[in-house]
């Protein structure tokens, strides 16, 4: 998913929360991966 996909889907009823959580989870995973690589 791209950021654009997430924005489009978040406009659909009932999807906003799910997409928001998925986006936050993706960021958390990315941060963890960066920390693991740099550490």
31 band by pLDDT with thresholds 50, 70 and 90: very high
Residues 6+ apart with CB under 8 A from 23: 6
Backbone angles phi, psi at 14, to 5 degrees: 85, -10
36 band by pLDDT with thresholds 50, 70 and 90: very high
- What pTM value is reported for the model? 0.53
pLDDT of residue 6: 57
């Amino acid at each position: 998913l791209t950021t654009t996909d997430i924005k489009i889907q978040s406009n659909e009823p009932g999807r906003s929360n799910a997409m928001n959580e998925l986006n936050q989870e993706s960021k958390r995973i990315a941060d963890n991966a960066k920390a693991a690589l740099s550490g």
